């Protein structure tokens, strides 16, 4: 028989002028069943402050987070966690928009939504595996005065805003970062308060912040306050890259092959999707003066053309010779060779990545999808596009390019 010790912690109460919502910090519980003995699961009813079964009371969180979160139904959750082992801690969906997130997101959702962006911030926003790291390194380098020799890893220089909600709750925070947090926040727990949220908030100005959150999960004032670089990648290559990433990262640990993954992807059952909804929100803001919408394929096709667009948008005023140096510094082969931009070795050592599943910086090409898409998957893709045809047929994605950067 499995023992099930449970420590009760005092709930944290978030209060707005009209509504009080309680989140219990004791968000994990032991499951007694023989099949799941010793396995940690998130107590979604605690973290979401869900009403009692049968109640008509909505599960909204707070007036300062105007959306509602709900756990997946038990059958879907059970199906997913058989193939995505890292999803065993639970998943939540944003009711109004359909975005699927790991359950710890509920603990931080209000903080993300109300994160205080500054006028000189630049936010690099993408759906996962759409050129995020490439764009982060380009933007940070251009904004740092062309610092090509920094020893700091990209995650420190350009913090990942919502990474606390993606971490495995069983793992301890990275020691050196947790030490810095405790030094600046005596008596506070980085796992409870949000270590990566702290890094983003405390970074020196001007900040370059990474996020995979769509516009709707951040404050509507973001593009009026800060600059946003939104990078979009064609969904065929994005899904292939995300497939490999989901096999690599232990927070997902997908066990299947690409056809099965693509089935989940098109059914909006992969975290941080739906893909089309995410891209749609970026596309709708493409004409905002503080938003630069860039296609990954355009960067691969003519990097200097896109560098000049970035140069004008960021107001960095570099010459073409200087931009060429940035382009060389951020070439795929160079970024893959630097531990500051390719954390594979370090992540393997601390249990964040799975051995034998490749690297964080993988191929960086356009057209890799041709090795994966069978006629059956092409048909599934076309049906998926038809479902989202309002946005899918409007955005001019390129699936092949004439020249590689």
**Would you say residue 379 has pLDDT above 80?**
yes
Of the pLDDT bands very low, low, confident and very high (cuts 50, 70, 90), residue 15 is very low
**Whether residue 139 is found in the same domain as residue 235:** yes
pLDDT value at residue 334: 84
pLDDT value at residue 60: 44
CB hemisphere CA count around 333 (13 angstroms): 3
Least confident of 6-20, 131-145, 162-176: 6-20
**Whether residue 70 is found in the same domain as residue 154:** no
pLDDT value at residue 57: 44
User: For residue 270, is it within any domain?
Assistant: yes
- The answer to whether the CB of 166 falls within 8 A of the CB of 251 is yes
E runs forming strands in 59-106: 60-62, 65-71, 91-94, 100-102
Of the pLDDT bands very low, low, confident and very high (cuts 50, 70, 90), residue 100 is very high
**Whether residue 314 is found in the same domain as residue 335:** yes
Rg of the Cα trace of the chain?
Answer: 21
**Would you say residue 309 has pLDDT above 60?**
yes
The top-scoring range by mean pLDDT among 48-62, 143-157, 224-238, 363-377 is 224-238
Examine the residue annotation and report whether 244 is marked as an active-site residue of this protein.
no
User: For residue 194, is it within any domain?
Assistant: no
Question: How far is the C-alpha of 78 from the C-alpha of 274, rounded, in Å?
Answer: 20
User: For residue 93, is it within any domain?
Assistant: yes
When pLDDT is averaged across residues 203-229 and rounded to a whole number, the result is: 97
Question: How far is the C-alpha of 359 from the C-alpha of 338, rounded, in Å?
Answer: 12
Length of the chain: 405
**Whether residue 365 is found in the same domain as residue 290:** yes
**Whether residue 209 is found in the same domain as residue 346:** yes
**Would you say residue 361 has pLDDT above 90?**
no
* Mean pLDDT score of the chain: 82
**Whether residue 247 is found in the same domain as residue 272:** yes
Counting the structural domains of the chain, the total is: 2
Domain boundaries, position 103: 23-30+38-107
User: For residue 16, is it within any domain?
Assistant: no
Question: How far is the C-alpha of 236 from the C-alpha of 83, rounded, in Å?
Answer: 21
**Whether residue 88 is found in the same domain as residue 130:** no
When pLDDT is averaged across residues 318-347 and rounded to a whole number, the result is: 84
User: For residue 282, is it within any domain?
Assistant: yes
Choice between 333 and 284, residue whose per-residue pLDDT is larger: 284
Segment 31-38 long-range contacts (CB within 8 Å, at least 24 positions apart) = 32/2, 32/4, 34/2, 37/2, 38/2
What pairs with residue 353 in β-bridges?
Answer: 249
User: For residue 326, is it within any domain?
Assistant: yes
The CATH number for 213's domain is 3.40.50.300
The strand pair at 122-126 and 227-232 is best described as parallel
When pLDDT is averaged across residues 217-238 and rounded to a whole number, the result is: 97
User: For residue 17, is it within any domain?
Assistant: no
Choice between 324 and 342, residue whose per-residue pLDDT is larger: 324
The strand pair at 65-71 and 91-94 is best described as antiparallel
pLDDT value at residue 177: 75
pLDDT value at residue 27: 34
The top-scoring range by mean pLDDT among 99-113, 179-193, 248-262 is 99-113
pLDDT value at residue 350: 65
Of the pLDDT bands very low, low, confident and very high (cuts 50, 70, 90), residue 20 is very low
Render pLDDT for 59-81 as a digit per residue (tens, 0 to 9).
444 458 999 999 999 999 999 99
**Would you say residue 353 has pLDDT above 90?**
no
**Would you say residue 14 has pLDDT above 70?**
no
Of the pLDDT bands very low, low, confident and very high (cuts 50, 70, 90), residue 129 is very high
pLDDT value at residue 343: 65
Q: What is the dihedral of CA 136, 137, 143, 146, to 10 degrees?
A: 180
Render pLDDT for 242-287 as a digit per residue (tens, 0 to 9).
998 788 766 778 889 999 999 999 999 999 999 999 999 999 999 9
Question: How far is the C-alpha of 303 from the C-alpha of 334, rounded, in Å?
Answer: 15
Of the pLDDT bands very low, low, confident and very high (cuts 50, 70, 90), residue 362 is low
pLDDT value at residue 130: 95
**Whether residue 220 is found in the same domain as residue 93:** no
Percent of the chain with pLDDT over 70: 78
Question: How far is the C-alpha of 214 from the C-alpha of 275, rounded, in Å?
Answer: 10
| Catalytic, out of 212, 245, 278, 329 | 212
**Whether residue 209 is found in the same domain as residue 325:** yes
pLDDT value at residue 344: 58
Of the pLDDT bands very low, low, confident and very high (cuts 50, 70, 90), residue 11 is very low
**Would you say residue 221 has pLDDT above 80?**
yes
Residue 210's H or E segment, with its range, is strand 208-211
**Whether residue 145 is found in the same domain as residue 51:** no
**Whether residue 84 is found in the same domain as residue 147:** no
User: For residue 11, is it within any domain?
Assistant: no
pLDDT value at residue 48: 47
Render pLDDT for 251-263 as a digit per residue (tens, 0 to 9).
778 889 999 999 9
**Whether residue 348 is found in the same domain as residue 229:** yes
């Amino acid at each position: 028989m499995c023992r099930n010790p449970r420590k009760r912690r005092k709930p944290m109460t978030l209060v707005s002028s009209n509504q009080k919502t309680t989140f219990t910090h004791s968000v994990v519980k032991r499951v007694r069943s023989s099949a799941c003995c010793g396995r940690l699961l998130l107590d979604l009813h605690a973290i979401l402050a869900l009403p009692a079964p049968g109640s008509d009371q909505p599960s909204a969180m707070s007036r300062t987070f105007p959306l509602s979160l709900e756990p997946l139904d038990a059958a879907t959750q059970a199906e997913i966690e058989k193939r995505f082992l890292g999803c065993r801690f639970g998943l939540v969906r944003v009711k109004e928009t359909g975005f699927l997130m790991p359950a710890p997101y509920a603990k931080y959702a209000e903080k993300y939504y109300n994160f205080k962006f500054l006028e000189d911030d630049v936010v690099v926003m993408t759906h996962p595996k759409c050129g995020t790291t490439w764009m982060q390194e380009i933007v940070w380098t251009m904004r740092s005065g062309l610092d090509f020799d920094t020893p700091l890893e990209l995650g420190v220089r350009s913090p990942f805003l919502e990474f606390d909600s993606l971490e495995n709750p069983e793992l301890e925070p990275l020691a050196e970062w947790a030490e810095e947090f405790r030094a600046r926040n005596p008596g506070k727990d980085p796992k409870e308060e949000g270590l990566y949220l702290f890094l983003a908030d405390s970074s020196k100005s001007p900040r370059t912040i990474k996020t995979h959150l769509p516009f709707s999960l951040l404050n509507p004032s973001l593009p009026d306050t800060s600059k946003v670089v939104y990078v979009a990648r064609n969904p065929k290559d994005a899904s292939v890259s995300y497939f490999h990433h989901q096999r690599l990262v232990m927070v997902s640990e997908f066990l299947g092959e690409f056809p099965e993954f693509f089935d989940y992807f098109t059914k909006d059952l992969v975290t941080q999707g739906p893909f089309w909804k995410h891209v749609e929100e970026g596309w709708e803001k493409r004409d905002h003066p503080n938003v630069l919408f860039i296609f990954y394929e355009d960067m691969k096709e003519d990097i200097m053309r896109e560098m000049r667009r970035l140069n004008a948008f960021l107001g960095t005023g570099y010459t073409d010779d200087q931009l060429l140096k940035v382009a060389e510094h951020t070439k795929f082969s160079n970024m893959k060779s630097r531990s500051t931009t390719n954390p594979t070795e370090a992540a393997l050592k601390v249990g964040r990545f799975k051995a034998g599943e490749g690297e964080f910086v993988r191929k960086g090409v356009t057209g890799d999808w041709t090795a994966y898409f069978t006629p059956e998957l092409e048909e599934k893709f076309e049906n998926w596009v038809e479902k989202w045809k309002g946005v899918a047929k409007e955005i001019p994605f390129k699936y092949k390019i004439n020249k590689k950067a």
